Amino acid sequence: MEIDFLIIGQGLAGSALGYRLIQQGKKVVLLDQPDKNQSSQVAAGLFNPVTGRKMVKTWKGEVLFPEIAPFYQELEEVTGRKFLTLQPIYRPFLSIEEQNEWMGHSSDPEIQPFLKKIEVESQQHRLKDPFGGVMLQESGWLDVPTLLEGMASFFGERLRQEEFKEEELIEEGDYWSYAGWKVQAIVYCNGLGALHSRFFSFLPFAPVKGEILEVKQDFNPPYIVNRGVFRVPLSNGNFRVGSTYSWHDLEEGPTETAQKDLLNKLMEVVPVPVEEVVAHRVGIRPATKDRKPFLGKHPLQKNVYIFNGFGAKGVSLVPYFSACMQDFLLEDRPLPAEVSISRYFTYI
């Protein structure tokens, strides 16, 4: 069998790129081993246009955010599933000074498209927001596991639930031979699995462990609350609360410390008793040292590519950058310099 693209990994990255290449008429096979670390299965799926302690526009927000809803809605149509929720994010102010600062921000043309409203009074007695807060728009969350399930059905026989073994890859002139297939090109969308690749282990990944809870709590506003932790209303009536960031103990599973930390932070913003912690999950984000994704072609090996390094923001980054990657693969259009792996070619 001849294949145009062998994609390693069916997380968010592999699913999006695989879909785009198939739409362009390419013959694609995806290999995925679900029991490996899958950041996508754990992700809260939040997309938030204004982030960080200093609340600045998300890096490249002006190009990333217009792509989010159209892309995931297209996937919803193709799969017949619902996984995108557009929902405002409410961020309570901690002080009157912060409220004033945001009043000033409201005329900033970079922030304005994402600003729904500034509230100067508390919105709800069950929220700790005595100074009001800012309501952001163009935000929401993606039910990533449902998307992956839907995309797995869409891929059908093109998706194999099996481990890719790099040592079984054989170079045969212009193409690669793998498992009896004649493969024109390979794309590594395997998250942190790329750390063990002879082609891409030179890239400076910086894995970040994240823990996340699903809780029952009697307070259901029509928005996501985000202050210290985020609290996302789920369709089953529960709430997702997360996430922690840890660069240590990557091998360790769920920890009591993280659970306590998340619940304490939740109480700081929504002081309503938690009736039950329904789930506690852990994943390792495929983050990078400079916090920018890794896209491109191996400098020495023919037809070996990577589409990876989406860190804590895969949901926002993947729609736009999968389109860039498609153009790079099919039309040889240059990649944006900030994400091209050529920035690390001196590391080889």
Compute the residue count for the chain.
348
Which parts of 73-132 interact with ligand FAD (CB under 6 A)?
none
The least distance separating ligand FAD from the CB of residue 100, rounded to whole angstroms, comes to 29
Task: Rule CB under 6 A: say whether 6 interacts with ligand FAD.
Answer: no
Among 111, 134, 186, 189, the residue binding ligand FAD under the rule CB under 6 A is 189
What amino acid is encoded at 124 in this protein? Answer: Q
Name residues whose C-beta falls within 8 Å of residue 148's C-beta, 6 or more positions apart in sequence.
10, 11, 12, 15, 40, 41
Among 133, 193, 296, 319, binds ligand FAD (CB under 6 A): 193
Q: Are 30 and 14 in contact (CB under 8 A)?
A: yes
**Are 203 and 273 in contact, with CB atoms under 8 Å apart?**
no
**Binding to ligand FAD by residue 49, rule CB under 6 A?**
no
Q: Kindly determine how many residues on this chain lie close enough to bind ligand FAD according to the rule CB under 6 A.
A: 42
Evaluate whether 136 touches 50 at the Cβ level (below 8 Å).
yes
**242 in contact with ligand FAD (CB under 6 A):** yes
Instruction: Please name the residues in contact with 159: beta carbons below 8 A apart, sequence gap of 6 or more.
Output: 10, 29, 30, 31, 32, 152
- What minimum distance in Å lies between the beta carbon of 8 and ligand FAD? 5
Q: Tell me which H or E stretch contains 51.
A: strand 50-51
Task: For residue 49, give the DSSP letter.
Answer: S
Query: Should residue 285 be labelled a site residue for ligand FAD when binding is judged by CB under 6 A?
Result: yes
Q: Single out the segment in contact with ligand FAD by CB under 6 A; choices: 9-17, 118-126, 167-175, 220-228.
A: 9-17
CA angle 319, 321, 327 (to 5 degrees): 110
* Residues sharing a CB contact under 8 Å with residue 24, sequence separation 6 or more, in sequence order: 326, 330
Site string for ligand FAD, 151-180 (x = CB under 6 A): ------------xx----------------
Among 3, 28, 44, 68, binds ligand FAD (CB under 6 A): 44
CB of 329 to ligand FAD, least distance (A): 17
Q: Which two tokens stand for residue 130?
A: 């005595």
Cβ atoms of 46 and 37 within 8 Å: the answer is no
Task: Determine, following the binding rule CB under 6 A, whether residue 249 of this chain makes contact with ligand FAD.
Answer: no
Strand pairing category for 28-31 and 159-160 = parallel
Q: Is residue 28 a contact point for ligand FAD (CB under 6 A)?
A: no
Instruction: Work out how close the CB of 56 gets to ligand FAD at its nearest, in angstroms, rounded to a whole number.
Output: 17
Task: Report CA Rg, the chain.
Answer: 21
Ranges within 286-315 binding ligand FAD (CB under 6 A): 286, 308, 310-315
Binding test (CB under 6 A) with ligand FAD, winner from 6, 28, 43, 295 = 43
Of 131 and 155, the one with the shorter C-beta distance to ligand FAD is: 155
Of 8 and 187, which has the nearer Cβ to ligand FAD? 8
Which parts of this chain interact with ligand FAD (CB under 6 A)?
8-14, 31-34, 36-40, 42-46, 163-164, 189-191, 193, 210, 212, 242-243, 283, 285-286, 308, 310-316
